[in-house]
Structure 1
Amino acid sequence: MMITTKINIKPHLKEYIIGRYNNFDENSPVRFPDHTDIYMLIWDLLVKRPVNCFVDEGNLEIVLPERYGSKSPEYYNYLGTRSQKRIERKIQMMMWADFREFMEIERYRNGSGIVISVHIFMKKYGITSISEDALVKSYYRWRNRVREREKRPYSMASK
């Protein structure tokens, strides 16, 4: 038996998750593999549904984790607002980590340019709701933070 719920996340994160885990199928709920961190996070955050909450609203439908001998999704099937924000942050961290790793591989192993690499990443996961420029700028900001800058040698040339 499959029990689902809906959560609200940013559109580009939804596209990333659907492209990565759901084979670009927006009409069926996303099922996370049980060995992933996001699966365990969702399982940890599930609580019993409050009496006054009946309908789930959101742009991403997910299949609730079902682990044997523990919380049953029939009863523990509610994710509150804070829980949804934590899931959204986790998905965002996953996307950026995947993006940065992809960029490093494309740039240094395959020799692709940054703009071309960003375009390939967006096509790979079907991301359309965020611009390529935003991803390029994010990559440059991350690269400048992570890598040490070389100190420029100063010359004592007289004028």
Structure 2
Amino acid sequence: MITTKITIENYLAEYLIGKYGTPDSKVVRLPSDLDLYHFVYDLLQKRPAGCPVDSGNLELVLPERREAHLPGGKPLATYNYIGERGAKILSRKINTMMRAELHDLFDENKHVYGIDYINSAWYFLRKYCIESLSVEALLKDYQRWRRKMRRKTSVREYKHR
């Protein structure tokens, strides 16, 4: 098992650790059927010469793929580094994944079960042990997204007689 560490926003690291981490350690092992698993594999590159030891708030188990043993594949002994640019790209992907799950949870709880948004936000934070975000931040993000996605159609102006 080869791991690497990257630095991303704290709430995204907490989300991934809460969703895919193991209870006894903070190491994240992504399932092989997840798009993020393949995304991480594509971002792997050779460690630059003189690069310091990995540091960061998220430790990922690197994906081992069958193609690594074929000619042209990436052996993890050599390709075991995610650079700063790769960490930013991965951070955006994780952020999109987290927000999609959050918005889906809010909609389902409100319209199917009748649960308030604030209770859904508390549930989401407790489920993934996220301490870096507040309930108000999640609610504000959802309201912005809902306003942007569900714009009302413009209504024709009526002239008064």
Give me the TM-score of the superposition, normalised by structure 1.
0.90
| One-letter amino acid of the structure 2 residue matched with residue 34 of structure 1 | S
- Once the two structures are TM-superposed, the CA of residue 36 in structure 1 deviates from its matched residue by 1.0
- Once the two structures are TM-superposed, the CA of residue 151 in structure 1 deviates from its matched residue by 6.0
Structure 2 match to 1:65: 63
Identity %: 42
Structure 1: tracts of 5 or more residues without a match? none
| RMSD between aligned residues | 2.0
Structure 2: tracts of 5 or more residues without a match? none
Structure 2 match to 1:78: 81
Structure 1 match to 2:17: 18
Count of residue correspondences: 156
Structure 1 match to 2:132: 129
Quick one: structure 1 residues 153 and 112, their matched pair in 2 at CA, closer, same or farther if it must change by over 3 Å?
farther
Structure 2 match to 1:36: 34
Cα deviation code 1:7-58 (max 9, x no counterpart): 00111111110111115x3724110011111111110111111111140010
Whole-Å Cα distance in 2 between the matches of residues 118 and 80 of structure 1? 33
Whole-Å Cα distance in 2 between the matches of residues 137 and 125 of structure 1? 19
Q: Matched residue of 1:89: which SS?
A: helix
Q: Matched residue of 1:120: which SS?
A: helix
- Once the two structures are TM-superposed, the CA of residue 149 in structure 1 deviates from its matched residue by 2.1
Whole-Å Cα distance in 2 between the matches of residues 103 and 10 of structure 1? 22
Structure 2 match to 1:91: 94
Quick one: structure 1 residues 45 and 154, their matched pair in 2 at CA, closer, same or farther if it must change by over 3 Å?
closer
